Structure 1
């Protein structure tokens, strides 16, 4: 159980670190654009607007990890009651 918690903690730390890095990167990019007109959206982002959004990715990964943890706990303690 402790090893699983450590793995989840490391994964959460990696997600938070990537989110912080990406946010700083986007912030610098926005600061460097000092124009009043909107720029064109990257074609990759236009094709996959939800997969290129780190907030949605964080929600999806978190939901998958929570579901995996619930299934793990259910299987582990299925015969104890």
Structure 2
């Protein structure tokens, strides 16, 4: 394994751990809410509902990282 492979693995693990901690934090916040109604949705979120959603952002970022990793292996391997 090269140094770049190790760095990419470490970055991947950090992204996964960050997502896990963020998800757990959000889960605890919603667990203790007592009101039956949600708050008003921000206007920016209404105009861009997909780009402000952390789940979609995670999928987009993961897809970009995966494609970059595939491109790296394709370009660095000898045919």
Give the TM bin, normalised by the shorter chain. Answer: 0.7 to 0.9
Q: 1:44 to 1:62 in 2, by over 3 A?
A: same
Q: How do 1:1-80 and structure 2 match up within 5 A?
A: 1-77=1-77, 80=78
**CA separation in 1, counterparts of 2:43 and 2:23?**
20
Q: How far did 1:47 drift?
A: 4.1
Q: 1:46 to 1:29 in 2, by over 3 A?
A: farther
The normalised TM-score by structure 2 is 0.73
Structure 1: unaligned runs, 5 residues or longer: none
Number of aligned residue pairs: give it: 79
Deviations 1:31-51 (A, max 9, x none): 221111222224443344323
Moved over 4 A (4+): none
